[in-house]
Amino acid sequence: MTDWFAQQLLQWYDQHGRRNLPWHRSPSAYRIWISEIMLQQTQVTTVIPYFERFMERFPTVQDLATASTDEVLSYWSGLGYYARARNLHKAAMTIVEDHAGTFPQAQDELQKLPGIGRSTAAAIVAQAHAQRASILDGNAKRVLARYHAVEGWPGRTSVANQLWQHAETHTPNERIQAYTQAIMDLGAMVCTRRRPGCAACPVREGCLAYARNNPDAYPGSKPKKEKPEKSVWMLVIEDGEGRILLEQRPPSGIWGGLMSFPEADPALQPEELPEHCETSLGLQTSEPETLAPFRHTFSHYHLWIQPVKLTAIRTRVLSDNGRHQWLPRQNALEAGLPAPIRRLLS
């Protein structure tokens, strides 16, 4: 039997929910999966153009699996959290190699794939196969934490366990696709992080946070820790033909697998950078021209990027298995670049 919370949510969804998002059209497991991964820590309005462009290039899991990692990253460039794209590519290859290109329909099998956790797997089986499965994405966490006044940061296991229990309790046996989208929509459109629209909320009568007049207290915030600051020289090197030197980053870590500018130790003085270019890159360069520094914030530290422009006077082919590439500016802009590097290059 559908409980009151789910009934109210479904009635609200029928009138106000988002029922025509791109991934709702022909909602295959593949399309739902791509959308769910893109939507992690990213707003719907940002995701839609990326999703449509991605699906145009990779319409099937086979297309994604046979593409190069570089190309997948280029279509992800600007979305951030690039481990999502690398895991997406690995999972696609696993589905093709181990599952004959067919998505597993069991939630526990989906959770074995790279980058697919419990909530993402539940969203796939619920929306693509109408299986009863409870989700707990960021929006659902906020709705349930407020409705039940669950105290504490959801990143703590004890708090997450309480929220999962509530998610299981409220998930209905019928209209599972609609309910799954409804609880995400309520969190995104009404029960927002700041200034929640309680007056328009279909479940406010049962909401403990509303009764206590303190919805902003839920969910609890992550304990604050001062982020360390790091700095780096970014070497913007151009040759006589107007080509830019890009370097592929290691496959794991920050901006893993993406193209970026070569870097240099921040302890070096600007006048020492030409010597660094000669010893590490085999390039003779002009005197450096320092550009305005700027700060980019990652989840766990701040990075001060100090760009410096150099012109290569003498170049040679870099024998480093293709890790460095000279690219015309337009080609460089089409490569898989982190957002701050793209802005700098532009």
Tokens of residue 176, six digits:
């599972």
Tokens of residue 346, six digits:
């532009």
Tokens of residue 181, six digits:
């989208």
Place of tokens 């690039």: 82
3-class DSSP state of 194: coil
149-219-195 Cα angle (round to 5):
100
The dihedral sign for the CA sequence 86, 71, 296, 46: negative
Place of tokens 């797997």: 121
CB 85 within 8 A of CB 115: no
236, β-bridge pairs: 309
Which of these, 254, 341, 256, lies nearest to 302 by C-alpha position?
254
296, β-bridge pairs: 303
CA distances (Å), origin 22, targets 52, 76, 255, 301: 7, 17, 28, 35
Is there a catalytic annotation at residue 229?
no
Beta strands in the chain (DSSP E): 229-238, 243-248, 259-260, 263-264, 284-285, 289-290, 294-297, 302-314, 324-328
Which of these, 338, 249, 234, 331, lies nearest to 292 by C-alpha position?
234
Place of tokens 């990326």: 50
How far apart are alpha carbons 54 and 68 in whole angstroms?
A: 14
Active site residues: 36
